């Protein structure tokens, strides 16, 4: 009997190990390929989205703009009256003229305060003392002028206020005029600005339509300085001498606003 060696492959032969490593290496290659594919796919999608967005913007706006100026007006009822009132006195010397003027001004201020004007709404705006001379240059006397700027918010008593002021001074009174205003213009300004913006958009739309395009969004707005149409009423000295209550009509006041608006234009 001779010895026999079994040459059959065992459980850990070289062929089986080679197949195991080959399978593992193929799996890794498949995973790597999928990763690269997904990465490239994500980059392509992002590029398509970017190009689409860019094309959308290029179609919605050409980068061109149009600049227009719109104007708007709104009216409100004045609630404030201001006027300049003062005293002019003449005497043979400066001291007498000034003393006489001081007495008249005290009477004028007392009249104003007793008719609803507050102390903070009285402001001295001018005090002048000068010589009077004849055609030969000789001094014949002295003139003193003193004036106040007065503001009142009680328009119902405005006529009585002016009449009382004139009576307190008599022939020496000086009254330069009367102006009315709106103390708080916020509401009127808001209406005027809204009207100005509507006017600007209308003008821009008409111009754009004529050029074969359309108005886009607002690029810039500049609010120009507004102006109010102040009401000035001249006050005759002759009427002030005898009037007990001066007729006063405040009427209405207009506020004008201009806005400069820049719009984008579609392509």
Closest by Cα among 243, 98, 97 to 166: 243
The whole-number pLDDT of residue 185 equals: 86
The whole-number pLDDT of residue 177 equals: 79
- Residues 6 or more apart whose CB falls under 8 angstroms from that of 251 comprise 78, 180, 231
Rounded Cα–Cα distance for residues 212 and 206 (Å): 10
218 has pLDDT over 70: yes
Fold of 65-76+185-230+252-265: Translation Initiation Factor IF3 (3.30.110)
Q: Do domains 65-76+185-230+252-265 and 80-181 have the same CATH topology?
A: no
pLDDT in tens, 78-110: 999 999 999 999 999 999 999 999 999 999 999
3 state SS of 61: coil
**Tokens, residue 152:** 């009142």
Domain residue limits, the chain: 65-76+185-230+252-265, 80-181
Rounded Cα–Cα distance for residues 145 and 98 (Å): 9
Fold of 80-181: Alpha-Beta Plaits (3.30.70)
Rounded mean pLDDT, 236-259: 67
The whole-number pLDDT of residue 20 equals: 56
Rounded Cα–Cα distance for residues 267 and 265 (Å): 6
């Amino acid at each position: 009997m001779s010895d026999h060696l079994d040459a059959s492959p065992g459980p850990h032969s070289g062929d089986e190990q080679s197949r195991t490593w080959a399978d593992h290496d193929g799996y890794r290659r498949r995973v790597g390929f999928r990763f690269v594919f997904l990465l490239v796919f994500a980059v392509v999608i992002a590029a398509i989205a970017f190009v689409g967005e860019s094309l959308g913007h290029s179609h919605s706006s050409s980068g061109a703009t149009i600049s227009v100026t719109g104007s708007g007006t709104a009216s409100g009822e004045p609630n404030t009256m201001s006027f300049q009132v003062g005293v002019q006195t003449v005497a043979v010397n400066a001291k007498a003229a000034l003393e006489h003027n001081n007495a008249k001004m005290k009477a004028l201020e007392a009249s104003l305060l007793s008719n609803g004007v507050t102390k903070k709404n009285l402001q001295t705006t001018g005090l002048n003392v000068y010589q009077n001379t004849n055609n030969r240059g000789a001094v014949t006397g002295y003139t003193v002028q003193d004036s106040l700027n007065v503001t009142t918010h009680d328009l119902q008593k405005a006529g009585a206020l002016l009449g009382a002021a004139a009576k307190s001074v008599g022939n020496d009174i000086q009254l330069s005029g009367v102006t009315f205003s709106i103390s708080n213009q916020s509401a009127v300004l808001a209406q005027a600005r809204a009207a100005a913006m509507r006017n600007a958009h209308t003008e821009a739309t008409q111009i754009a339509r004529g050029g074969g395009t359309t108005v886009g969004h607002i690029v810039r707005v500049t609010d120009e300085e507004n102006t109010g149409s102040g009401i000035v009423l001249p006050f005759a000295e002759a009427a002030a001498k005898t009037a007990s209550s001066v007729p006063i009509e405040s009427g209405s006041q207009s506020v004008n606003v201009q806005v400069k608006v820049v719009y984008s234009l579609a392509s």
